[in-house]
Structure 1
Amino acid sequence: MTATETGPRSPAVSSGVEPAPGEVSRLKPNAVGLWGVVFMAVATAAPITAMVGNTPIIVSAGNGVYAPATFMVATIVLGLFAVGYGQMAKHITATGAFYTDISHGLGREIGLASGALTTMAYMVFEASLVGIFSVFAKNLVNELVGVDVPWIVFALLMLAANAALTYFDINLASKVLGVFLITEIVMLSLFAFSVLFTGGAHEGWSWASLNPLNGFRSLDANVTLAGGQSMHAVGTAGIGLFFAFWSWVGFESTAMYGEESKDPKRIIPLATVASVLGIGIFYVFVSWMGIVGSGPGTGPTDALATTLNPDTMSDLFLKPVEHNLGHWAVVLFSILLVTGSYACGMAFHNSAAHYLYAIGRENLIPGFGRTLGASHPKHGSPYISGFVQSTVALIIVLFYAVSGRDPYGSLYGVMALLGTTGIMIVQALTAFSVISYFHVQKNHPETAHWFRTLLAPALGGIGMVYVVILLFQNMSFAAGSASGDIIFRLIPWIVGVIFVAGLVFAIVVRRTDPEKYQRMGHVVLEEPAGVQTGPGGCRTTRRARRRHCWNPGSDRGVGRPSI
């Protein structure tokens, strides 16, 4: 039995009837191009939020003026991961992304457990970004018009907007994200080049900040604060590296848009590598200019003094902005922090909806195929899974609001830590699944390569494991004032229970329903070259020239698309 394309207008979907055996729903094809995919991936990383929010923490508690070197290390590790991830995307195109890749490389059981963990991560990421968006929006409105609006009002508006955009069209969402993202990049670039062309601060350039080896150096310096008093500042390189890697979370979402993209076999690998390297180079340059603009050095520095005071941390960027560009740019930066955090939250909403859809359309639990796994009959969007995601995010946000918890320290901080823990573990498993797929299972020998599919993902995977270790070692610091929250203390248990639950469910399905087990994590998109029928009975249409196939073959996770 094979899974075939049913299209966004399929009666099996639009009428609410359970898809017939061997059929799955699919998303709207050719809805987004290369730049649309790149925009959604980069928007998920939220450049302006990462720079203004994370860089001061890396400087003050991690590597000091070597923060750009920390971003450089992260670029190298994630670039190696992206090389292998991109090679996998050439042969496995599915909205399940990590879930599908790991199912093919490491087996269906680990694949489903990883899919459950990834879905959880993206679901809580949206709630997390709702928290920081609400704080930014509340402060902005209060600053511009002097009205103190409760943060929950902005939270509900964001959730409603995300639900509406996901319902209508992925292309609409990518256009909204594109506008916000371009504005962010323009303003960050204006800031960086204004520092570059004015020669920085009185201490000149800090070339040591660009040495990757300094990314492993911990802060240890005497600093003179603004009031004239001196202090000895100490940090940990592990904290700096963790926050640097955290700044990239979301780039891997490129793969989940494969089914909706034009020419996914070419676009997705390009978009993945372009996103990682583009974000990395930009982060290194902007963070370096932030330090240069505030005064770099190994002794007392304005940059360290600025970031060591919680009330002036953002001045690492805002002070040079106002000095070089004027107050209007500071106001625009404040607005972009709002739009940037919103764009990031919407991108995570899309990611969560896609993962729910990918698992739902396999109909592993009766009824999921016509609900979570249904695409809209007109728009071709994962609309039901999108509404489910909105409901979950709403429950989380309301819980934090009713319990009186802080939307920034608790909602944003704790939910981000929970999601980051899950996503880093899954990224490491994905890197190792690339090695298994090409070199253990011997799939696609024409693509297998000693560097692209072996050494690069191995180094990337080891780097991911190291980041996970750093995360656990520094989790209490990263949580800040929320480290005593019961939800924070439950993070390891939540991650462990979800992973084990997915593992156990997959084992049960394997024993009780071999047919569903064969489908698990193996629904992939095929794009045949002018053929009507392919191996395994996969079907396509002349109009879409695409098909969904899965190979009910061996139990070792082959299930590969027929090329």
Structure 2
Amino acid sequence: MSPGTSHTRAATSTSAASSESSEINTYKGQDRALRADRLGTAGLLLSVLAASAPLMVVAGVMPTAFGVMGMLGQPLLYVILGVVLMLFGVGYAEMSRHVHNAGAFYAYIARGLGPTAGAGASYVALVAYSAMQVGIYGILGFEISGLMATHLDLTVAWWIPALAAAALVAVLGWLKIDLNARALGVLLVIECTLVVIFDVAALTDPGPEGVSFAAFDPGTLAGAGLGTALCFCIAAFIGFEQSPVYAEETSRPQVIVSRVMFLAVGFVALFLALGAWALTVATGPGAVVEAAAEQGPGLLFSLTETRLGGTFTDVLHVLFVTGMFAALLSFHNVVARYAFAMGREGLLPAAFGRTSSASGAPATGSLLQSAVSVLVVIAFAAGDGLPAGDPTTPVLRLFTWMGNVGALGVILLMAAASFAVIAFFARRGAARAQAWRLTASALAGLALVGIAVYTVKDFDVLIGAGPGSSLNWILPGIIGLALVAGLLYGVVLRTVRPEVHARIGLGNEAFQLERAAERGEPSADS
């Protein structure tokens, strides 16, 4: 054999080995994998920020929090919650360096607290994110219906544009995730820019009390409504924790995922604190609660009308709609990936664990979420008396009910994930090396448990129901039912199919473990 031939064969062998190691495999083959290298830092950041729907928060959530809770210190609340979630992110980000799984929350909980706990968390995550996504169809349909009545003199029931949006989201959900990221990014950048323009306008043309920092006075947080306000405002941050869901589709998950989480939390805290403060400055700290109670979501648009003109306000209305659509698409992508991870690991039928050969998207999971969305919208539409319907249904029922159910589920998942991080590193003998991160996780976990308790306690206020309403236990019970169902299924798997139970949370690593077992090699944990 000539030296040249030997060199060529060696190079070929090296290339083949490199190709094999770079593939994303699962224990059931390449079609059970999400496509890698689809997202970089910018694409992932825009995808997760889109779920926060910044303009929807400023126009919809903030006036409600001012008007219903009567708490002036909302800007300070966003700063406090930003600190709590940064503490949460310290351990969560470190976990993301060790576990790359589209199941994110439930995978982390499974690796820290055990596969059965992970099974329970998986069903909570699936239901919570699905509820949040479906709820947005209500406020989106309501807003589009209003715009058509105002500008086109057309009377269209809210559920018609809601179903049209569901159809469009279904189509986009089948496309490549990098294409979705570009669409989300353009919409997000434009809406954030317009809100910042309003912030500047409010500070340069303040209300009768001038530029006041009263909203940052800790004394404004005193009162019985603090717990409820915390529950209400933390929902505005939901989205940042989704970055590990896309870990398998990023180029360098061990770096990009943690970087995006901190950037997202920092941006959202700063953006929302500034936006809420601008509302208090524009109306005056002494008048913002009354104005928000009277005008609701119309508060922002009335303030931009007087300062920036009708054209700017009309554009803002349109961006309000596109921002909600971006949030719909972002949540849809997350639910589809949770369903994919669960199907891959035996927590859902195997069909959910397959990807589209054309785009690499989790096609069956995407189809499931589209079907759920359509059915829920139709159910709420039928319940409000077709065709005109009850105008309170899309916002005060569909959006508010489902949004708070989803927020409760995500808060519980974040609390459980905080303690799972501690268990994960402690069981591997790394507690001392990771001491400061585990301390941060413990503090965040305790704070999140407190917020969850307040959420359940004050659920009647959050959904606008009376103290004796059965909705106060039925709606939180949806999350409880999902948890119990998941835990019971985990117990069944442990008894009947222990090999499937053992794989919960492992994702792609299960393939490597099985291949090592076939070769008689020791596992990484042994």
TM-score, length basis structure 2: 0.88
Question: Quick one: which amino acid aligns to residue 331 of structure 2?
Answer: F
Name the structure 2 match of 1:207: 213
Question: Quick one: which amino acid aligns to residue 284 of structure 1?
Answer: A
Structure richer in helix, relative to its length? 2
Name the structure 2 match of 1:157: 164
1:381-392 aligned at under 5 Å gives the runs 381-392=361-372
Q: Say whether 1:403 aligns with 2:383.
A: yes
Kept in 1, the 8 Å contact 2:48–2:264? The answer is yes
Instruction: From the superposition, tell whether residues 372 and 535 of structure 1 become closer, same or farther in structure 2 (CA, over 3 Å).
Output: closer
Instruction: From the superposition, tell whether residues 383 and 325 of structure 1 become closer, same or farther in structure 2 (CA, over 3 Å).
Output: same
Distance between the aligned counterparts of 2:140 and 2:464, measured in 1?
19
1:420-459 aligned at under 5 Å gives the runs 420-443=407-430, 448-452=433-437, 454-459=438-443
Q: Which of 461, 482, 485 in structure 2 is aligned with 1:501?
A: 485
Give the paired residue count.
497
Which of 489-498 and 70-79 deviates more? 489-498
Secondary structure in structure 2 of the residue aligned to 1:156: helix
Q: Which of 352, 355, 358 in structure 2 is aligned with 1:372?
A: 352
Name the structure 1 match of 2:247: 258
Distance between the aligned counterparts of 1:522 and 1:433, measured in 2?
15
Kept in 2, the 8 Å contact 1:110–1:503? The answer is yes
Point out where structure 2 has 5 or more consecutive residues left out of the alignment. Answer: 1-19, 385-389
Question: Alpha-carbon deviation of 1:441?
Answer: 3.7
Kept in 2, the 8 Å contact 1:132–1:408? The answer is yes
Distance between the aligned counterparts of 1:138 and 1:315, measured in 2?
15
Question: Alpha-carbon deviation of 1:382?
Answer: 0.3
Kept in 1, the 8 Å contact 2:32–2:355? The answer is yes
Distance between the aligned counterparts of 2:322 and 2:47, measured in 1?
14
Name the structure 2 match of 1:229: none
Q: Say whether 1:418 aligns with 2:401.
A: no
1:139-538 aligned at under 5 Å gives the runs 139-198=146-205, 200-211=206-217, 213-214=218-219, 216-218=221-223, 236-296=225-285, 301-309=286-294, 312-364=295-347, 368-369=349-350, 371-404=351-384, 406-443=393-430, 448-452=433-437, 454-480=438-464, 489-524=473-508, 537=515
Question: Alpha-carbon deviation of 1:525?
Answer: 6.1
1:542-561 aligned at under 5 Å gives the runs none
Deviations 1:278-308 (A, max 9, x none): 1001111111011011112xxxx22122013
Question: Alpha-carbon deviation of 1:188?
Answer: 0.4
Name the structure 2 match of 1:138: 145
Q: Say whether 1:88 aligns with 2:99.
A: no
Instruction: From the superposition, tell whether residues 481 and 519 of structure 1 become closer, same or farther in structure 2 (CA, over 3 Å).
Output: same
Secondary structure in structure 2 of the residue aligned to 1:65: coil
Question: Quick one: which amino acid aligns to residue 318 of structure 2?
Answer: I
Distance between the aligned counterparts of 1:421 and 1:175, measured in 2?
30
Point out where structure 1 has 5 or more consecutive residues left out of the alignment. Answer: 11-18, 219-234, 527-532, 540-550, 554-558
Question: Alpha-carbon deviation of 1:318?
Answer: 2.4
Distance between the aligned counterparts of 2:251 and 2:119, measured in 1?
27
Question: Quick one: which amino acid aligns to residue 172 of structure 1?
Answer: L
Instruction: From the superposition, tell whether residues 20 and 459 of structure 1 become closer, same or farther in structure 2 (CA, over 3 Å).
Output: closer
Question: Quick one: which amino acid aligns to residue 222 of structure 2?
Answer: R
Secondary structure in structure 2 of the residue aligned to 1:95: coil
Question: Quick one: which amino acid aligns to residue 390 of structure 1?
Answer: S
Instruction: From the superposition, tell whether residues 77 and 413 of structure 1 become closer, same or farther in structure 2 (CA, over 3 Å).
Output: same
Kept in 2, the 8 Å contact 1:108–1:520? The answer is yes
Question: Alpha-carbon deviation of 1:261?
Answer: 1.1
Deviations 1:130-156 (A, max 9, x none): 111100111111111111112121111
Task: Provide the identity percentage.
Answer: 27
Distance between the aligned counterparts of 2:207 and 2:22, measured in 1?
61
Kept in 1, the 8 Å contact 2:102–2:246? The answer is yes
Instruction: From the superposition, tell whether residues 430 and 327 of structure 1 become closer, same or farther in structure 2 (CA, over 3 Å).
Output: same
Distance between the aligned counterparts of 1:327 and 1:21, measured in 2?
57
Question: Quick one: which amino acid aligns to residue 32 of structure 1?
Answer: L
